[in-house]
Structure 1
């Protein structure tokens, strides 16, 4: 059979027959560090004859600033749910219509009509999880299902705590700990939030991303961090346990999007469709240890992933979790001022 080779036809072929090696060229992915399974990339490269380059970033703000500056050279980015509306509003993302791709049928219904991308015109699920508490229980044997672990730490943990350097996650937990609601503009409460964080920071060791290396070895004895990384830590040290802050904790979902100025759009669309296949979504999760939002992927995962305490919220804490949403710009400005003061 003679294949037509126009750009439009190639796009249709890529969308409808993503299982065949019909592509070639390059794909440049901009993703969170230590978050992309090398085996997934090798499989995609082999299947589609595409050379993939993955570049890491360390926060939503880092990624957004880099792309805002222009000329990044990236095709794909993986923003968190509360940042997707910012990317869309600023015209940084291509309306790639993943909802029309062959494998979109595999997306779990709860992740289709999401607030940050209704109907999924721009993004597809990568991974989702939550920010909670990780503690070395050989050092501290008290209640770990509380943000007090890092905001009012027990003596055993003082000076051995690491906190994720992600503004919204930290402010969310602190606002909830002090009885407020996310996106609050209550200035009295926000002053208390600022004061609490500034005081608590004197009892922390670090605010960095080295949890999977330093928590298992005892360099950190407690962390406020993402559940997948804490699961990876537990696999190295069974004394590590995960806690769900009863005062409130944030859920997140990171999603794959194509940049408006991407040079390799068709390869990026191929990748979008590829990661919505259950066996490929399972590769994503098995590496970083987060849930993925794709139906049927669990059967391709090891049993320890399906049953992990870090990935299965106990009924008593389910009501404490909320999805991080995008606050209004004037609210974000207030939060940024607190965060800037905390960084001093």
Structure 2
């Protein structure tokens, strides 16, 4: 337990409060060496070593299948809880007129095939609670992948990300994504970074328990993202999003009519639009972007927001508090020096948290 307390973890996405941390590779190597101490250690260590697995290459995926099939990792008592499969590639017939660059074909040869990812989930994933599927140059899931995800007993978190974007038409299938979301009724947290999602792609009855939604904004997926929010409006209590342009891509434009059913309680950004903060209770900013400008902003919020009660400053070093803080400013100023992720207030109503690049 002492070793795990000082072990090095790495977040996969510091701007998403729903993302899991994974042990860095050197830590997993040290853990494997501890198995040589005794039989008892050999039985106990896998429960810590395989609590989370991050597969980043085809070789890592094959080694997992070749080495650990038939072990405790593939049993009903599997300790695996968090699984991330990265650089997935699935193929669907493309228009013959589409030119596929050589760089794409080379990348596909090094990626983890969709059927391999499905086999890993079916073999080791019965007890996982968090699953990340990071697509290489595709945006689709196969039928056997959907069946494998259905096999999971208690999936709480799902992350779907398209890492590359060339060419658009190659292996892009919104319908398969919709089918995947329809077979995870217990899902409480969904994170997506998917361009070109078709409007109204979501199937009826999907995501009945969704409470947390993080997305990277793409104009091509605006209507699909809005549909997810509408479908889960009765259960959602936190929305986080990342956008390259915080001025143009505001919540009102992204969420459409759904904005009227939401109450913004916490905001994390480098640029604040006062029109979005009628019910604001918390604001998170980077210290190096705050200073005197934010003293003025906070003073303004006292008149507009009617009760900003919490502020948070993120810093890489311990900053000194302002010498003259505006009268009536937030009652508590929190300094978050360990992470750049947003701080979510424990409130009953919906929060919208924005991360700006």
TM-score range, shorter chain: under 0.3
Larger helix proportion, structure 1 or 2?
1
Q: TM-score, normalised by structure 1?
A: 0.24
In terms of Rg, which structure is larger? Answer: 2
Q: TM-score, normalised by structure 2?
A: 0.23
